[in-house]
Amino acid sequence: MATNESISVFSSASLAVEYVDSLLPDNPLQEPFKNAWNYMLNNYTKFQIATWGSLIVHEVLYFLFCLPGFLFQFIPYMKKYKIQKDKPETWENQWKCFKVLLFNHFCIQLPLICGTYYFTEYFSIPYDWETMPRWYMLLARCFGCAVIEDTWHYFLHRLLHHKRIYKYIHKVHHEFQAPFGMEAEYAHPLETIILGTGFFIGIMLLCDHVILLWAWVTVRLIETIDVHSGYDIPLNPLNLIPFYAGSRHHDFHHMNFIGNYASTFTWWDRIFGTDSQFNAYNEKMKKVEKKTE
């Protein structure tokens, strides 16, 4: 009975979204995107698309999303939004981070990306335009991937902080006490594999088209670079997402090496009370701000 009611609710919600979608004006970018997608299919093999296409998408988006935070350090006006104002970025740290990123991206992540072609072939994941899901289905599946990844990240990240193994793996990521966007994927190779597994679990469970892989990469990079940015920007649209952790949440983790273990949402930290020190810190800062007003 409960199962039937759940199915009925989801069906009604789906119909409502489809109705709203039908009222929206035509997307002027849809036709150029369709032409570009079909051109890609006609000129490149599935292996090239799944492997080199995915690598290019990841590299371009990663450094593109890092660019605003990188530029903020040169804009005096933006300094007031920096969370740890006493720890500015340095060229030495950023260069060190960049070199490690290149190693991780091409020596650790690229071999993993090569497996996506064989995954799509084994499970007959389509590439064609005609079966590409609508935008709202892509968003729903990306949200599902985010929930799965966040759950995996919370428990494995918390495990990596265990005193017996912290210094061997996760300590590398905590070399920078004040995070910056590019540092999001700065990690020990084992951590890249361990925590990165959470990214692929959602894909394995929910993928119905290769476009989901790239959409989920986009969503995940936006999120992880935002929480590592080191800046709390007013009117950040990501903060409108219910239970979204945000940059202050994760910045506290880097500042204190404890608590706030989730990657995207706050519910696991709330359930297990691993955000208690963060909450106490926020209350303290609010009192300080009131006194200075």
Contact (CB, 8 A) for 221 and 203: no
Q: How far apart are CA 280 and CA 62, in angstroms?
A: 33
The CA distance from 160 to 167, in Å, is: 9
* Whole-number Å distance between alpha carbons of 132 and 141: 13
Average pLDDT over residues 210-218: 97
Cα(6)–Cα(256) distance, integer angstroms: 42
Task: List, in sequence order, every residue forming a beta bridge with 82; answer none if it has no partner.
Answer: 231
- Bridge partners (DSSP) of residue 217 are none
pLDDT at 30 > cutoff 90: no
Whole-angstrom CA distances from 75 to 92, 156, 208 are 19, 37, 43
Regarding predicted confidence, which is higher, 13 or 258?
258
**pLDDT for 285 beyond 80:** no
Calpha distance 40→43 (Å, rounded): 5
Higher-confidence residue: 199 or 22? Answer: 199
**Cβ neighbourhood burial of 3 (10 Å; 0-12, 13-18, 19+):** exposed
Beta bridge mates, 265? 244
> What pLDDT, on a 0 to 100 scale, did the predictor assign at position 6?
45
Whether residue 200 is predicted with pLDDT greater than 80 in this model: the reply is: yes
* CA proximity to 98, closest of 126, 70, 137: 70
pLDDT at residue 266 above 50? yes
Angstrom distances, CA of residue 76 to CA of 73, 151, 236: 7, 38, 19
Are 254 and 177 in contact by the 8 Å Cβ rule? The answer is yes
Domain boundaries, the chain: 51-72+103-234
Whether 249 and 154 have beta carbons less than 8 Å apart is answered as no
pLDDT tens-digit map of 127-161: 999 999 999 999 999 999 999 999 999 999 999 99
Residues 6 or more apart in contact with residue 246 via CB below 8 angstroms? 226, 227, 232, 236, 238, 239
- Both tokens of 136, joined, read 């709202």
DSSP character for 236? -
Inter-residue contact 124 to 209 (CB < 8 Å): no
pLDDT category at 63 given cuts 50, 70, 90 is very high
Note whether 100 and 186 are within 8 A (CB). yes
Residue 229 pLDDT > 70: yes
Distance CA 76, CA 94 (A): 19
Longest dimension (CA), the chain: 65
pLDDT at residue 8 in the model: 55
Q: How far apart are CA 109 and CA 146, in angstroms?
A: 19
Predicted model pTM: 0.89
In the DSSP assignment, the letter for residue 123 is: T
